[in-house]
Amino acid sequence: MLLSSIYRSKFVRCPLYGFIGLSNRENRLLNTIAMQRLSRIKQLAHTYVVYPSAVHTRFEHSLGTLHLADRVCDQLGFRKRERKVVRIAALLHDVGQGPFSHVWDEPMRWINGEDYSHEDVTKLIIESDTEIGRALGNLRSKVLEIFTEDTLSSDVISSDLDVDKMDYLRRDSYHTGVAYGLFDLERIIRTLGRMSEVGRDYLAVHEKGKDALESYRLARYAMHMQVYEHHARIIADDMFIKAIKSALEEGCLAKEELQISKDQNAFIDGFLKLDDFSIQHRILEGSTGIAKELIEDIRNRKLLKRAFKVPLTQRFVKHALRRRELARMNRNDIESAEEKIAKELGIDPAYVIVHLQSVEIKLYDSFEQMLRKKEKNIFVIGANGEPSLLDEESPISASHDPVRRLYVFCPEKYKKKAREIAEDKFKVKSVLSN
């Protein structure tokens, strides 16, 4: 490990990579309020209700991402200065994540519009937070560019084959105890290269790394199916979202707090106080109604149960129009369905969740999809130097259609009745018999 001496100022243990070396500046960044806060945000939100060991944090993941960024920079032959910037961007890439990570995106979208992404807050913090700014010094604008411009360096941090995913797939595997995410990291890194096109270079993998790349995209798929989209985790996440909704209605949380545009410094101040636990305590102390009840239920693992489940496939929903109708339900349709079912059950709609799941089998792109896609595709460089798409090279393929399922969750004792209501409403049989 030939880290040049500036990255040996501090070493942090990592169960995946042994030790992670840091520069002085990186160590200062680590000890900011903004970064320390990530040690109170679980990487996988409520996944611990299914996998009790999955309580690892965004803080640990941020360090791992920095480490992999370094290895990729080395493989790509980046200069010192560029490497310094990419490492820091990797370290900071999740600084804008809210409580329970991606779950927080949902309430943020209610206020800031559908285009909202936690990266907006990441950029805002890098741009405006005083403590972070002091530590970044003259690198600030360069680091920011990684998140705003479209370059090979930004691909390292965010693309179909970025160090973010490479780290979390393996790390989430380690901490949940499943093998699904154990793709062949070493081989991907060793076969990574750049492909020059008009304008700029793109990340690509040499043909020798094709199977490793295959293992990577399958790992991604499998982790989604087994871990990230596990129904019990979805239930807890959804209950939390309902609690936030109620808290906003009850007034123990103010819309302004979630609104980015207004007063940016005030927003950042408020935002940096939010973490998995502070938001719970805000509600436990501020709410006297449903928000509080929901949070207590999550904390005591009194979760809603699956009352109804149907995959939106030809086999289970034969009628094509009905299938289309169900798959197209929007937030209003869902809310009104929840209200209707709740009304018939005689309970508050906060306790009925209609969930339309749509798991995209990402990374499987046909030529047609490549044309339409905004993200950056992964190219394979053949022995003869010609690029090809992985999907054109591999005998393994995936349906380009997402896996869609419709769920209804409700309290245990209403399960049977809720199923009957839902079957009646959606005109389709549940595959669960209760």
Query: CA 52 from chain center: how many Å?
Result: 19
Which residue among 266, 269, 277, 343 contacts a second copy (CB under 8 A)?
Answer: 277
Q: Which of the ranges 137-145, 180-188, 256-264, 338-346 carries the binding residues for a second copy, by CB under 8 A?
A: 180-188
389 near a second copy, rule: CB under 8 A: no
Closest CA to 184 of 212, 225, 153, 217: 212
User: Measured from the CB atom, is 46 or 338 closer to a second copy?
Assistant: 46
Per-position x/- string for 307-336, each x denoting binding to a second copy as judged by CB under 8 A, each - no binding: --------x---------------------
- The least distance separating a second copy from the CB of residue 141, rounded to whole angstroms, comes to 26
Strand order in 305-311's β-sheet?
305-311, 403-410, 353-359
Closest CA to 57 of 100, 88, 86: 100
**SS3 for 18?**
strand
Which residue among 101, 153, 154, 215 contacts a second copy (CB under 8 A)?
Answer: 215
User: Measured from the CB atom, is 124 or 398 closer to a second copy?
Assistant: 398
What is the C-alpha to C-alpha distance for residues 119 and 164, in angstroms, rounded to an integer? 13
407 near a second copy, rule: CB under 8 A: no
What is the C-alpha to C-alpha distance for residues 326 and 427, in angstroms, rounded to an integer? 10
100 near a second copy, rule: CB under 8 A: no
Which residue among 65, 122, 159, 176 contacts a second copy (CB under 8 A)?
Answer: 176
Q: Tell me, letter by letter, the H, E, C secondary structure of 310-322.
A: EECCCCCCCCHHH
Per-position x/- string for 217-236, each x denoting binding to a second copy as judged by CB under 8 A, each - no binding: -x--xx--xx----------
Residues 369-388 that bind a second copy (CB under 8 A): 382-384
Which residue among 24, 128, 177, 366 contacts a second copy (CB under 8 A)?
Answer: 177
391 near a second copy, rule: CB under 8 A: no
13 near a second copy, rule: CB under 8 A: yes
Q: Quick check: 163 and 155 in contact, CB under 8 A? A: no
367 near a second copy, rule: CB under 8 A: no
Which residue among 11, 130, 197, 424 contacts a second copy (CB under 8 A)?
Answer: 11
- The least distance separating a second copy from the CB of residue 55, rounded to whole angstroms, comes to 6
- The least distance separating a second copy from the CB of residue 108, rounded to whole angstroms, comes to 22
299 near a second copy, rule: CB under 8 A: yes
How many residues appear in the chain? 434
For a second copy, how many residues bind (rule: CB under 8 A)?
Answer: 78
Strand partners, 192: 205
Q: Quick check: 393 and 401 in contact, CB under 8 A? A: no
365 near a second copy, rule: CB under 8 A: no
Per-position x/- string for 23-62, each x denoting binding to a second copy as judged by CB under 8 A, each - no binding: -------xxxx--x--xx-------x-xxxx-xxx-xx--
Which residue among 285, 375, 412, 424 contacts a second copy (CB under 8 A)?
Answer: 285
- Please say whether the dihedral angle defined by the alpha carbons of residues 296, 298, 302 and 307, taken in this order, is positive or negative: positive
431 near a second copy, rule: CB under 8 A: yes
What would the two tokens of residue 57 be? 């944090």
What would the two tokens of residue 288 be? 């006297």
User: Measured from the CB atom, is 209 or 349 closer to a second copy?
Assistant: 209
Beta-carbon neighbour count of residue 98 at 10 Å? 21
139 near a second copy, rule: CB under 8 A: no
Rg (CA), the chain: 23
- The least distance separating a second copy from the CB of residue 74, rounded to whole angstroms, comes to 5
- The least distance separating a second copy from the CB of residue 118, rounded to whole angstroms, comes to 21
Query: CA 147 from chain center: how many Å?
Result: 17
Cα dihedral 92→93→95→98 (10° resolution)? -170
What is the C-alpha to C-alpha distance for residues 233 and 292, in angstroms, rounded to an integer? 19
User: Measured from the CB atom, is 157 or 298 closer to a second copy?
Assistant: 298
194 near a second copy, rule: CB under 8 A: no
245 near a second copy, rule: CB under 8 A: no
261 near a second copy, rule: CB under 8 A: no
Which of 37-50 are b and which e, b meaning 16 or more Cβ less than 10 Å from the residue's Cβ? Answer: bbeebbbbbbbbbb
What would the two tokens of residue 306 be? 């699956």
138 near a second copy, rule: CB under 8 A: no
**C-alpha separations of 22 from 10, 85, 236, 247, 371 in Å:** 5, 13, 36, 41, 40
- The least distance separating a second copy from the CB of residue 223, rounded to whole angstroms, comes to 10
88 near a second copy, rule: CB under 8 A: no
